[in-house]
Amino acid sequence: MKIESVDFFYLAMPEVTTEADGSQDALVVRVEAGGHVGWGECEAAPLPSIAAFICPMSHGACRPVSDSVLGQTLSEPADIHRMSAALAFNSMDLLQAAHTWSGIEMAMWDLLGKARGVPTWKLLGYEAAYPKVPYASVLFGTTAQGTLERAKEMRGRGFRAAKFGWAPFGDSLEGDIAHLDAAREGLGPDGILLIDAGQIFGEDVDAAALRLDAMERNRVTFFEEPFHGSAYGAYGALRDRVKTVKTAGGEAAHNRHMAEHLIDFGRVGFIQIDCGRIGGLWPAKEVADYAVTRGVTYINHTFTSNLALSASLQPFAGLKDHVICEYPTTLKQLAVDMTTNHIVPNANGEIVIPDAPGLGVDINPDALTQYIQDVEIKVAGKILYPPSRVG
Amino acid sequence: MKIESVDFFYLAMPEVTTEADGSQDALVVRVEAGGHVGWGECEAAPLPSIAAFICPMSHGACRPVSDSVLGQTLSEPADIHRMSAALAFNSMDLLQAAHTWSGIEMAMWDLLGKARGVPTWKLLGYEAAYPKVPYASVLFGTTAQGTLERAKEMRGRGFRAAKFGWAPFGDSLEGDIAHLDAAREGLGPDGILLIDAGQIFGEDVDAAALRLDAMERNRVTFFEEPFHGSAYGAYGALRDRVKTVKTAGGEAAHNRHMAEHLIDFGRVGFIQIDCGRIGGLWPAKEVADYAVTRGVTYINHTFTSNLALSASLQPFAGLKDHVICEYPTTLKQLAVDMTTNHIVPNANGEIVIPDAPGLGVDINPDALTQYIQDVEIKVAGKILYPPSRVG
């Protein structure tokens, strides 16, 4: 099979706000080869990611992503690895390339799975896929009362675990303690409580550490992204100051090295990988393998559609002991509408990873037209996007 | 002063090839505030970098670079630091943002220097700027004979040091040895010989190590980027196998953490920073300070215009013992034409960092029109670039 086309669909809600909600827009990727179709999603700014696919070459190591993809053979996993290596070299100096490639790579695994009639996790080398315990991934309330209500709501919806994140966390110590107490109260004594600081402490280890008492008293399982994603020193320093809570991070990794370094040098207890950023499913699977050897727990990072969710579960589908998974529960309508089927907790409250060809999630063509943001890019008088097609 | 405008000029040669020559195009940035003008240059793919400035927001942590810049106060260095911190948070999930911001940040230092009538290196905290010994930065010849001739040419032009880089290095061991011998022969016994592998060995430490004997015999001072920029493990492993040659890297760092990690975990002897990628002059200065504390030598990475060259020298202008600097010698005509003045070696063969306000390099307005690549970007029927101006 040869890759015949790679198409991007930039979708957005009518209104996009500064809320830390990644489901307000989406960049969906369709790859076609040998009569088969695969779908992926970049967890990335859509316009720069499209630009990285079609931009004019700057030099031999700053080439558009398309140069390493279009017309290539795609018949087996080795072809994906080959393109990934070519891209790393050809687009070495094009920073956005990793985000663009992530959605394409994902779509290729979906396509190969469909072509062979097997779920993608089998192609990645797993014999079986084990159910995961979803944690409801929600934002903090604007007040502690709001957080309490959101926690109760998640518990009422049957979630055994919930993660609260972002603003107003970090605004004040008193406020943060109130939110932590509220989250624990609302979730009940047996709930698994997780906290995401959204990098609010920069590199300020002392400021992050001030929250540890309240976290440990409230039996927080992990404290996610207290710091800038590359601040391994700060992660390591906080690790030395915790008693029971573990640190977590990794969503910003745009290659597997960065995730492995966060494990080795930041000494996180949980490594969180976004397949829509790290370069797709294979580097994520490599990180999962690495995490196992280091005694670190792998988790998906997903705050967008069910397509991204399914993709994000594949790299650790076969890791029986890596049990919890991120599960977005307050998706914007576009992310709901984007797929015709949805991954929902079963009667045990668990997420069963699709046992269907590819990623097992079907794209809703109506959503692609309803939410589409048409993009046109011209350079030096030539339309580079959308690309013209012959025939 | 308020930032009134940020304008991009995407310049390109009539023909851009796969040659590893970064001077084939350029993304020049002009910042205007309080009646002053500053200039910078992103060492980045122009189109995705422009897109990162003007793209629609995806969510609160994936905002366009413009959101952290336009309308901001720019009166002193602290304003630049504030914007840099805001950008790191507001554009956390927009990968290309660091490259876009780099040129803007550079232009702000140029502007502040001009507004105060002092060279930028003084604003960065240095009392004096020391001359540097330039190394001619050239590509290997296609044959060993070509490398020999290029080395002789550089020696004939008075260079005491030269760096040879990229293809065909890495193609074969025999070929590489012939190129190394040729470079040493052409440069003469006293020349400082540097080698840049352009990441060709990926993570293959053994393959890179096979070249060490010929490097040490030819008294190579540093072996640059044998591996992927993030492969600290491979850098560290090669470090354990060298006798006299030092390793070098860092040009891909898009924040100061990455450069510091390459020092700490990759244990390079030379840290090479591109101000057009790392987030501008200030993070580069921070890396220079860090390098001093770690006994590592700081060097600029520059393969584009004299504007970028001047900018790249500022962060280590005052480090008397960090002597050599990269000096591109085979610039494409656009990079030559881009500035009306040029930084050339003095009678001692040294580079004197401009002692003029700001970066001390003047932009040639004719070049901005001669090489311009007009860009137009429309999303959902609205022209986002070029931005419309009122008044």
Q: Which of A95, A301, A372 to mutate to test the interface with B (most CBs of B within 10 A)?
A: A95
pLDDT score for B181: 98
User: What one-character-per-residue DSSP string does A128-186 give?
Assistant: ----BEEEEEEEPPSSHHHHHHHHHHHHHTT-SEEEEESTTTTS-HHHHHHHHHHHHHH
* CATH superfamily, domain at B3-118+365-385: Enolase-like, N-terminal domain (3.30.390.10)
Cα B263 from chain centroid (whole Å): 18
CATH 3.20.20.120 fits B123-337, yes or no: yes
Residue B16 Cα, gap to closest chain A Cα (Å)? 7
User: What one-character-per-residue DSSP string does A12-68 give?
Assistant: E-SS--SSS-GGGEEEEEEEEETTEEEEEEE-S-HHHHHHHHHPPP-BTTB--GGGG
Q: Which two tokens stand for residue B314?
A: 């500022």
* CATH superfamily, domain at A3-117+365-385: Enolase-like, N-terminal domain (3.30.390.10)
Is B110:B359 a contact under the CB 8 Å cutoff?
yes
Helix, strand, coil percentages for chain A (3-state, nearest 5): 35, 20, 40
Residue A312 Cα, gap to closest chain B Cα (Å)? 17
Is B113:B39 a contact under the CB 8 Å cutoff?
no
Q: Which residues of A touch B260 (CB under 8 A)?
A: 233
**Any residues with CB less than 8 A from the CB of A331 and at least 6 apart, and which?**
A23, A304, A305
Q: Which of A112-116, A226-230, B355-359 has the lowest mean pLDDT?
A: A226-230
For residues A68 and A61, give the distance between their C-alpha atoms in angstroms, rounded to a whole number: 11
Pairwise CB contact (< 8 Å): A60 & B20: yes
Q: Which residues of B touch A379 (CB under 8 A)?
A: 10, 47, 373-375
Nearest 5°: CA angle at B358, between B355 and B364? Answer: 100
B369 inside 8 A of chain A by CB: no
B69 inside 8 A of chain A by CB: no
| Of the candidates A137, A111, A106, A126, the residue with the CA atom closest to the CA atom of residue A299 | A137
Grade residue B20 by pLDDT with cuts at 50, 70 and 90.
Answer: confident
B376 inside 8 A of chain A by CB: yes
Is B183:B214 a contact under the CB 8 Å cutoff?
no
Pairwise CB contact (< 8 Å): A48 & B96: yes
pLDDT in tens, B174-221: 999 999 999 999 999 999 999 999 999 999 999 999 999 999 999 999
Pairwise CB contact (< 8 Å): B381 & A375: no
Of residues A19, A48, A376, nearest to B51 (C-beta): A48
Q: Which residues of B touch A28 (CB under 8 A)?
A: none
Q: What are the start-end ranges of the E strands in chain B?
A: 3-12, 25-33, 36-42, 133-139, 161-165, 192-196, 220-224, 246-249, 270-273, 297-300, 324-328, 375-379, 382-385
Q: Which residues between 165 and 224 in chain B have a beta carbon less than 8 angstroms from any beta carbon of chain A?
A: 166-167, 198-199, 202
Q: Which residues of A touch B261 (CB under 8 A)?
A: 230, 232, 261, 265
Cα B62 from chain centroid (whole Å): 26
**Any residues with CB less than 8 A from the CB of A156 and at least 6 apart, and which?**
none
Q: Which residues between 321 and 360 in chain A have a beta carbon less than 8 angstroms from any beta carbon of chain B?
A: none
**Closest residue of chain A to B27, computed from CA coordinates:** A58
pLDDT score for B240: 96
A48 inside 8 A of chain B by CB: yes
Q: Which of B13, B59, B200 to mutate to test the interface with A (most CBs of A within 10 A)?
A: B59
β partners of residue B39: B30
pLDDT score for A331: 93
Of residues A51, A60, A231, nearest to B19 (C-beta): A60
Helix or strand (DSSP H, E) at A224: strand A220-224
Distances (CA, A) of A142 to A147, A167, A211, A379, B108: 7, 8, 18, 44, 36
Pairwise CB contact (< 8 Å): B58 & A258: no
pLDDT score for A47: 98
Q: Which residues of B touch A167 (CB under 8 A)?
A: 60
Q: What is the DSSP-derived secondary structure letter of residue B293?
A: H
Grade residue B391 by pLDDT with cuts at 50, 70 and 90.
Answer: very low
**Any residues with CB less than 8 A from the CB of A359 and at least 6 apart, and which?**
A39, A106, A109, A110, A113, A119, A120, A307, A310, A311, A314
Within 10 angstroms of residue A132's Cβ, the number of other Cβ atoms is 23
Pairwise CB contact (< 8 Å): A59 & B22: yes
pLDDT in tens, A272-307: 999 999 999 999 999 999 999 999 999 999 989 999
The pLDDT > 70 percentage for chain B reads: 99
pLDDT score for B147: 97
Peptide bond into B14 cis (omega under 30): no
Helix or strand (DSSP H, E) at A308: helix A306-313
β partners of residue B375: A379
A260-278 per-residue burial string, b: 16 or more CB within 10 A, e: under 16: bbbbbbbbbbbbbbbbbbb
pLDDT score for A388: 81
Q: Which residues of B touch A331 (CB under 8 A)?
A: none
| Of the candidates A270, A267, A218, the residue with the CA atom closest to the CA atom of residue A240 | A267
Pairwise CB contact (< 8 Å): B61 & A94: no
pLDDT in tens, A243-261: 999 999 999 999 999 999 9
For residues B279 and B258, give the distance between their C-alpha atoms in angstroms, rounded to a whole number: 12
pLDDT in tens, A46-88: 999 999 999 999 999 999 999 999 999 999 999 999 999 999 9
Please return the burial class of B314, using the count of CB atoms within 10 Å of its CB with bins 0-12, 13-18 and 19+. Answer: buried
Q: Which residues between 270 and 299 in chain A have a beta carbon less than 8 angstroms from any beta carbon of chain B?
A: 277
Q: Which residues of B touch A61 (CB under 8 A)?
A: 20, 198
The pLDDT > 70 percentage for chain A reads: 99
Q: Which residues of A touch B167 (CB under 8 A)?
A: 60
Pairwise CB contact (< 8 Å): A56 & B373: yes
Q: What is the DSSP-derived secondary structure letter of residue B33?
A: E
The full set of domain ranges for chain A reads: 3-117+365-385, 123-337
Grade residue A329 by pLDDT with cuts at 50, 70 and 90.
Answer: confident
Q: Which residues between 225 and 264 in chain B have a beta carbon less than 8 angstroms from any beta carbon of chain A?
A: 228-233, 252, 254-255, 257-258, 260-261, 264
Q: Which two tokens stand for residue A105?
A: 């790579």
Is B305:B332 a contact under the CB 8 Å cutoff?
no
Q: Is the pLDDT of residue A228 over 50?
A: yes
The complex's ipTM works out to: 0.96
Pairwise CB contact (< 8 Å): A19 & B59: yes
Grade residue A167 by pLDDT with cuts at 50, 70 and 90.
Answer: confident
Q: What is the mean pLDDT of residues A319-325?
A: 97
pLDDT score for A391: 41
Within 10 angstroms of residue B88's Cβ, the number of other Cβ atoms is 21
A46 inside 8 A of chain B by CB: yes
Q: What is the mean pLDDT of residues B263-277?
A: 97
B20 inside 8 A of chain A by CB: yes
**Closest residue of chain A to B52, computed from CA coordinates:** A48
Q: Is the pLDDT of residue B247 over 90?
A: yes
B118 inside 8 A of chain A by CB: no
Grade residue A20 by pLDDT with cuts at 50, 70 and 90.
Answer: confident
Grade residue B389 by pLDDT with cuts at 50, 70 and 90.
Answer: low
Distances (CA, A) of B273 to A73, B261, B276, B384: 37, 13, 9, 32
**Closest residue of chain A to B99, computed from CA coordinates:** A95
